[in-house]
Amino acid sequence: MPANAFNGFTDYGIGIGLRVPHYNHILSEKPTVDWFEIISENFMCDGGRPLKILDQILEQYRVVQHGVSAYFGSAETLNREHLKRLKRLVQRTRTPWLSDHLCWGSVDGRYTHDLLPMPYTMAAAKVTAGKIRQARDFLEVPIAVENVSSYAEFHVSEMTEWEFLSEVVERADCGILLDVNNIYVSSRNHGFNPLDYIDQIPAGRVAQFHIAGHSRYRKYILDTHDHPVIDPVWRLYEHALRRTGPTATLLEWDAHIPSFQEVHREALKARRFMGEVAAHA
């Protein structure tokens, strides 16, 4: 049974990100993994090894696409070339849903290749929601948007981040990829209570979770995906799961990547929380 209208995949369980250092292990050992998340842009090419590897993975595993450059929050229109390539990939992977970030990163056709923070304004919410709808209509696949870690806030913001996220997903009628590590990082960088965030978003729209590690600096926390998940983030995950019910969950580990087994072991820690929530449901 889906936990909510935007989560038809409660049985997806716990996935990990598909990363190059693990290719050989995955293809030779064929470990049991609930699903893999791929970074869409790494496979939006015309040929070669990336697509060959992807096809081999698709023969064995369920794959969900996660993007980093749709930039729904950029004030400019969607990039048609990007969308066309993305659609070709969607048709290849048959991803059940597709996620990208609630952020911007390009302006006047120039790309920063970063996930830049949104001004939390109604103007931004309207533009962003409109673009998510356009993308969903073109791609013909459900879309979930992910909250990003941020290090700056704008004077012009008219609402909190969680109010903005709620405004966008309600207007776009789309799902949420709730990254609890990003909530933790941003809460430390901006001084809000992360439980307020989790308690006030529409839980019925959470289609997927992300969990990850981060790096702590003297004056701020950086979302680096290069460490195990810390206990406070696991507690936030547990809290969020109680609101959403069992939901597809993915561990991100993108730098200083350890062995496949270590990454998978870290991801599977989520199982305990998922099991407890399911038992009390």
Partner 1 sequence: MPEAVPAPKRQSRREYLQLQRLMAGAVMRPLSPRGRLQGHWLDGQPMRKVAAGFIKPNDRLTSFERLEIYNRQYWFRLLDCFYDDYPGVRAVLGDRRFARLTEAYLTQHPSVSFSLRNLGRGLLEFLAAQPQWTAPHGALALDMARLEWAQIEAFDNAAKPPLTMDALLEIDPARTRLQLQPHVTLLELAYPVDEFLIQIKRTERLRDEASNAMEAHPSRWRRRLQRRWKPAEVFLAVHRHNDTVFYKRLEPGAFRVLSAFRTKASIADACQQLGAEDGGAPDAGGKVKSWFESWASLGWLCRSGRRG
Strand 104-107 and strand 110-116: the pairing is antiparallel
Give the separation between CA 279 and CA 173, rounded to whole angstroms: 30
Which stretch in 23-31, 115-123, 232-240, 241-249 sits in contact with partner 1 by CB under 8 A?
A: 115-123
Residue 188 is encoded by which pair of tokens?
């430390």
The answer to whether residue 279 forms part of the interface with partner 1 (CB under 8 A) is no
The answer to whether residue 123 forms part of the interface with partner 1 (CB under 8 A) is yes
Q: Per CB under 8 A, which of residues 36..55 are in contact with partner 1?
A: 41, 44-52
> Using the rule CB under 8 A, which residue among 32, 80, 109, 279 binds partner 1?
109
Give the separation between CA 25 and CA 74, rounded to whole angstroms: 38
> Using the rule CB under 8 A, which residue among 8, 61, 87, 153 binds partner 1?
153
Which stretch in 110-118, 137-145, 177-185, 243-251 sits in contact with partner 1 by CB under 8 A?
A: 110-118
Contact map string, positions 217 to 236, toward partner 1, x by CB under 8 A: --xx-x--------------
Contact map string, positions 239 to 278, toward partner 1, x by CB under 8 A: ----------------------------------------
The answer to whether residue 92 forms part of the interface with partner 1 (CB under 8 A) is no
Question: Please, which residue, 46 or 231, has the CB nearer to partner 1?
Answer: 46
Strand 14-17 and strand 249-252: the pairing is parallel
Give the separation between CA 249 and CA 12, rounded to whole angstroms: 8
The answer to whether residue 130 forms part of the interface with partner 1 (CB under 8 A) is no
The answer to whether residue 160 forms part of the interface with partner 1 (CB under 8 A) is no
Question: Please, which residue, 5 or 45, has the CB nearer to partner 1?
Answer: 45
The answer to whether residue 152 forms part of the interface with partner 1 (CB under 8 A) is yes
The answer to whether residue 104 forms part of the interface with partner 1 (CB under 8 A) is yes
Residue 23 is encoded by which pair of tokens?
């290719």
Bridge partner residues of 99 (DSSP): 66, 144
Question: Please, which residue, 53 or 240, has the CB nearer to partner 1?
Answer: 53
At CB < 8 A and 24+ separation, what contacts does 120-123 make? 120/154, 120/157, 120/158, 120/159, 120/160, 120/161, 120/163, 120/164, 121/156, 121/157, 121/158, 121/159, 122/158, 122/167
Residue 53 is encoded by which pair of tokens?
């590897």
> Using the rule CB under 8 A, which residue among 60, 77, 91, 112 binds partner 1?
112
Chain centroid offset of residue 229 CA: 16
The answer to whether residue 190 forms part of the interface with partner 1 (CB under 8 A) is yes
Question: Please, which residue, 84 or 272, has the CB nearer to partner 1?
Answer: 84
Q: Is the dihedral of CA 6, 12, 17, 23 positive or negative?
A: negative
Within 10 Å of residue 1's Cβ, how many Cβ atoms? Answer: 8
Give the separation between CA 35 and CA 198, rounded to whole angstroms: 25
* Binding residues for partner 1 (CB under 8 A): 41, 44-52, 69, 74-76, 79, 81-82, 104, 106-114, 116, 119, 121-124, 126-127, 151-156, 158, 189-191, 219-220, 222
